């Protein structure tokens, strides 16, 4: 197989001359005779020149997570983030900053995040209106993951119907006194879709909805455990027989507490979690939960953002992934 060195020798020119002529370098000055001699030599030797494509600079992406805890500690967000980052790399995009909303209240971090040129932004929960307007004014391409903006592409799942599915499962198993412990991120806890779903599902089933059993632990494990201890310390007729816990991280901490209080799961009290994190299949007993397709959500978010950055100006997309009830021994 002929090489560029063979072509240079055949045409009696330098390797650099062959490279610049065959690459059609417009800035290279050569006579028409020399150009033809090089091209004829390449043809005679059946040499195929592979043009080097110019390196395309990676696009910079930022992410905003709406969380109160350490931003990499929650398996739900970290799983989405991992899938998002992996797919963005395939599109030659890199995540340069990851912030949670509380960090953006720091002027220095706000400037560090939006004082640079960002090609795209992913928001992983609803922001206050003023913050949302600000970030959209600084970044042209913004996509939501698990948000509710009508004027923004969003990739997520139906939290209301997933919560209805969880409560109906508890009712089908014979549980009648259902409590909830969780959080609502930046939303008003009372307007959180999980609570609305619990209330409406209990009402439809003719069961009592007890507002005092809707506990806002703000996703804090310690606060969550204190609330569960409080719920189960009440007399039998005044305590729940099932607890819907807002995510699997909290639920996995609730199970040993219940055992410590000398109750049995699910005979004395059932527990259902949310997200189907990897930990849920290793708890004792195994945790019943709702599976959310976080990997698919992360990858699709990356694809939609990249499509917008490449010029897609089509209608706003609202992509809703299905969830699945995973039944284990805790119910």
Give the ranges where the chain is alpha helix by DSSP (H). Answer: 4-11, 15-22, 32-44, 75-90, 107-114, 129-138, 159-172, 193-204, 221-232, 248-260, 294-309
Return the percent helix, strand and coil in the chain, to nearest 5: 45, 15, 40
Residue 84 pLDDT > 90, yes or no?
A: yes
**pLDDT at residue number 257:** 98
* Residue-level pLDDT at 155: 97
Q: How many CA atoms lie within 13 A of 331 on its CB side?
A: 29
Mean pLDDT along residues 248-268: 97
- Kindly give the pairing relationship between strand 59-65 and strand 214-216: unpaired
Tokens of 216: 């806002």
For residue 95, the tally of other CB atoms under 10 A from its CB is 17
Q: Is 312 helix (H, G, I), strand (E, B) or coil?
A: coil
pLDDT at residue 58, rounded to an integer: 81
Contact (Cβ atoms closer than 8 angstroms) between residue 88 and residue 61: yes
pLDDT of residue 78: 86
| Same-domain check for residues 172 and 217 | yes
Decide if pLDDT at 115 tops 70.
no
Among the listed residues 324, 329, 321, the one whose alpha carbon sits nearest the alpha carbon of residue 157: 321
Residues 268, 199 share a domain: yes
Residues 281 and 165 reside in one and the same domain: yes
Q: How confident is the model at residue 72 (pLDDT cuts 50, 70, 90)?
A: low
Q: Are 257 and 171 part of one and the same domain?
A: yes
Average pLDDT over residues 245-258: 96
What average pLDDT does range 31-44 have in this prediction? 90
pLDDT at 55: 57
Residue 251 within a domain: yes
Expressed as residue numbers, the domain containing 80 is: 59-157+295-321
pLDDT-based confidence at residue 323 (cuts at 50, 70, 90): very high
Q: Are residues 166 and 267 in the same domain?
A: yes
Residue 305 lies in a domain: yes
pLDDT tens-place string over residues 192-241: 899 999 999 999 999 999 999 999 998 899 999 999 999 999 999 999 99
Q: Looking at the predicted structure, is the pLDDT value of residue 173 above 80? A: yes
Domain count, the chain: 3
Q: pLDDT higher for 86 or 49? A: 86
207 & 243 share domain: yes
Q: How many CB atoms lie within 10 A of CB 236?
A: 8
In 3D space, the residue among 225, 220, 281, 219 whose CA is nearest the CA of residue 257 turns out to be 225
Task: Place 148 in a pLDDT band, splitting at 50, 70 and 90.
Answer: confident
The pLDDT score that the predictor gives to residue 21 is 86
Residues 6+ apart with CB under 8 A from 133: none
Q: Is residue 33 part of a domain?
A: yes
Q: Reply yes or no on whether the pLDDT at 176 is more than 90.
A: yes
- Structure pTM? 0.79
Question: What is the per-residue pLDDT for 52?
Answer: 61
pLDDT of residue 321: 97
pLDDT at 54 over 60: no
| Beta-bridge partners for 325 | 290
pLDDT at 69 exceeding the cut of 70: no
pLDDT of res. 73: 67
Give CA–CA dist 139/186, Å, rounded. 22
CATH number at residue 200: 3.40.50.2300
**Is the domain of 115 the same as that of 198?**
no
Residues 163 and 284 in one domain: yes
Residue 53 has pLDDT above 80, yes or no: no
Same domain, 239 and 146: no
Q: Is the domain of 173 the same as that of 124?
A: no
CB-based contacts of 149, cutoff 8 Å, min separation 6: 126, 132
Does residue 56 have a pLDDT over 70?
A: no
Query: 152-167: per-residue pLDDT in tens?
Result: 999 999 999 999 999 9
Alpha helices in 75-128 (DSSP H): 75-90, 107-114
Cα–chain center distance at 48: 45
Can you state the angle between helices 221-232 and 248-260, rounded to 10 degrees? 40
pLDDT of res. 121: 94
Do 125 and 184 belong together in one domain?
Answer: no
**Of 127-141, 165-179, 186-200, highest mean pLDDT:** 165-179
């Amino acid at each position: 197989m002929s090489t560029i060195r063979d072509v240079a020798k055949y045409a009696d020119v330098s390797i650099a001359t062959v490279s610049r002529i065959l690459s059609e370098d417009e800035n290279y000055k050569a006579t028409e005779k020399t150009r033809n001699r090089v091209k004829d030599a390449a043809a005679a030797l059946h040499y195929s020149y592979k043009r080097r494509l110019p390196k395309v600079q990676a696009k910079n992406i930022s992410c905003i997570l709406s969380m109160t805890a350490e931003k990499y500690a929650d398996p739900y967000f970290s799983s989405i983030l991992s899938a998002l980052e992996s797919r963005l790399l395939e599109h030659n995009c890199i995540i340069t900053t990851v912030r949670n909303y509380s960090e953006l209240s720091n002027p220095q971090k706000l400037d560090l995040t939006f004082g640079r040129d960002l090609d795209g932004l992913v928001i992983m929960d609803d922001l206050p209106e003023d913050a949302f307007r600000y970030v959209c004014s600084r970044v042209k391409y913004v996509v939501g993951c698990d948000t509710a903006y009508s004027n923004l592409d969003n990739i997520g799942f139906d939290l209301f119907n997933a919560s209805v599915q969880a409560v109906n499962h508890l009712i089908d198993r014979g549980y009648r006194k259902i409590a909830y412990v969780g959080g609502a991120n930046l939303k008003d806890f009372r307007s959180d879709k999980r609570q609305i779903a619990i209330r409406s599902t209990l009402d439809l089933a003719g069961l009592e909805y007890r507002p005092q059993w809707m506990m806002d632990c703000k996703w804090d494990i310690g606060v969550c455990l204190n609330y569960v201890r409080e719920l189960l310390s009440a007399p039998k007729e005044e305590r729940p027989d099932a607890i819907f816990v807002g995510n699997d991280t909290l639920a996995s901490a609730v199970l040993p507490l219940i055992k410590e209080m000398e109750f049995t799961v699910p005979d004395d009290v059932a527990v259902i979690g949310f997200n189907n994190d990897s930990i849920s299949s290793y708890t004792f007993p195994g945790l019943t939960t709702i599976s959310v397709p976080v990997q698919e959500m992360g990858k699709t978010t990356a694809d939609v953002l990249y499509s917008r950055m490449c010029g897609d100006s089509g209608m706003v997309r609202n992509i809703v992934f299905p969830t699945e009830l995973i039944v284990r021994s805790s119910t």
